[in-house]
């Protein structure tokens, strides 16, 4: 059994492998795994990334095993910890599918999410509202921005949002097969529900709301931010959603549920972000209604 460190902790171990799997070539094993991922409903973008990386591994490794996986991962010591951790996750999932265990952990320094200023969001709103483009495109982009900052959806979730995923009567949307293959429900502000309803007029239930692929959507965010000169990126609107809720007094567990985080620790980093900007937060806070439940997202959250 191989044991070693790559700025990582752990070794490798084996579990029984079925005879059918053990006689397959690496390429056949990879095809089996990718088919399995497809059946799980994972995003095409994610599956393609995994496929590209594991194809490189198959070409590198004489045989699929925990030892060869560890050896392959060593070739990426010059990459960032987050990148190595992602690669380790790809390899673990592949080997687990084949009945093997890769006991390996990459040390990733804990980083706080970047703080998003309310003024930056205001500049973006103003710029999108004033741009001279096709009216329907402008309307869509404005609704896209409002949806991003008032639901906390990930880029892929925004791109995959279907008309059928929105319950216009109940003012809520369903995130289907989000990260980790999890579903969740997010309440919508009445004003956002109305704007989404206008955007979806004439669309079939199976059509996407915004009609954009994840890559195109991410490029829009990049262009918007660059045009107005604000330090925003694809995930910034999700950060803004989370930190605004925390500033307003929503419980971390409620924010965790809305963001779709499996681990509460992932959500708690937003407490540190807002703690580092107390002066700005206090200046923005409006008086809270003590009778208002923390599980409800109301218009008050966004009156800033």
Worst-scoring range by mean pLDDT, 46-50, 96-100, 275-279, 298-302?
Answer: 298-302
Catalytic residue among 86, 179, 203, 213: 179
Residue 144 pLDDT class (50, 70, 90 cuts): very high
C-alpha dist (Å) from residue 165 to 113, 161, 205: 28, 6, 8
pLDDT at 304 over 80: no
The C-alpha atoms of residue 111 and residue 91 are separated, in whole angstroms, by 24
Length reported for the chain: 304
Mean pLDDT of 128-148: 78
Q: What is the reported pLDDT for 41?
A: 67
The verdict on pTM exceeding 0.75 is: no
Q: Which domains does the chain have, with CATH numbers?
A: 8-106 (1.10.150), 118-302 (1.10.443.10)
Q: What is the reported pLDDT for 13?
A: 36
Q: What is the reported pLDDT for 209?
A: 95
Q: Is 179 a catalytic site residue?
A: yes
Mean pLDDT of 142-164: 92
Q: Is 134 a catalytic site residue?
A: no
Q: Is 270 a catalytic site residue?
A: yes
Catalytic residue among 184, 213, 235, 277: 235
- For residue 37 the two structure tokens come to 């991922």
Mean pLDDT of the chain: 76
Catalytic residue among 155, 238, 239, 248: 238
Of 70-79, 268-277, 291-300, which one has max mean pLDDT?
70-79
CB atoms within 10 A of CB 2: 13
Q: Is 105 a catalytic site residue?
A: no
Q: Is 277 a catalytic site residue?
A: no
The C-alpha atoms of residue 108 and residue 7 are separated, in whole angstroms, by 10
Catalytic residue among 57, 87, 90, 270: 270
Q: Is 261 a catalytic site residue?
A: yes
Catalytic residue among 123, 220, 248, 261: 261
Catalytic residue among 123, 154, 155, 239: 154
pLDDT tens for 205-244 read 999 999 999 889 889 888 888 888 887 877 888 888 888 8
Of 39-43, 114-118, 197-201, 272-276, which one has max mean pLDDT?
197-201
**Which 3 state secondary structure label does DSSP give 3?**
strand
């Amino acid at each position: 059994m191989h044991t070693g460190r790559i700025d990582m902790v752990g070794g490798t171990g084996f579990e029984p492998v079925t005879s059918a799997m053990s006689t397959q070539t690496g390429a056949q094993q990879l095809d089996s795994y990718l088919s399995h991922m497809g059946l799980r409903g994972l995003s095409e973008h994610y599956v393609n990334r995994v496929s590209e990386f594991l194809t490189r591994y198959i070409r590198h490794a004489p045989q699929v095993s925990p030892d060869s996986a560890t050896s392959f991962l060593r070739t990426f010591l010059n990459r960032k910890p987050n990148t190595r951790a992602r690669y380790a996750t790809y390899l673990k999932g592949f080997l687990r599918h084949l009945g093997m265990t890769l006991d390996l952990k990459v040390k990733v320094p804990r980083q706080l999410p970047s703080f998003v200023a309310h003024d930056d969001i205001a500049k973006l709103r103003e710029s999108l509202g004033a741009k001279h483009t096709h009216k329907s495109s402008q309307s869509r982009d404005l609704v896209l921005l409002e949806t991003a900052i008032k639901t906390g959806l990930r880029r892929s979730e925004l791109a995959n949002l279907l008309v059928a995923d929105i319950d216009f009567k109940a003012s809520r949307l369903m995130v289907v097969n989000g990260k980790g293959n999890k579903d969740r429900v997010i309440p919508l502000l009445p004003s956002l529900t109305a704007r989404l309803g206008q955007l979806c007029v004439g669309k079939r239930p199976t059509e996407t709301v915004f009609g954009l692929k994840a890559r195109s959507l991410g490029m829009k965010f990049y262009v918007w931010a660059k045009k107005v000169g604000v330090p925003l990126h694809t995930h910034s609107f999700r950060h803004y959603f989370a930190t605004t809720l925390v500033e307003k007094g929503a419980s971390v567990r409620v924010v965790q549920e809305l963001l779709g985080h499996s681990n509460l620790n992932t959500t708690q980093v937003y407490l540190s972000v807002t703690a580092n900007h107390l002066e700005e937060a206090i200046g923005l806070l409006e008086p809270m209604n003590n009778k208002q439940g923390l599980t409800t997202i109301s218009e008050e959250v966004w009156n800033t």
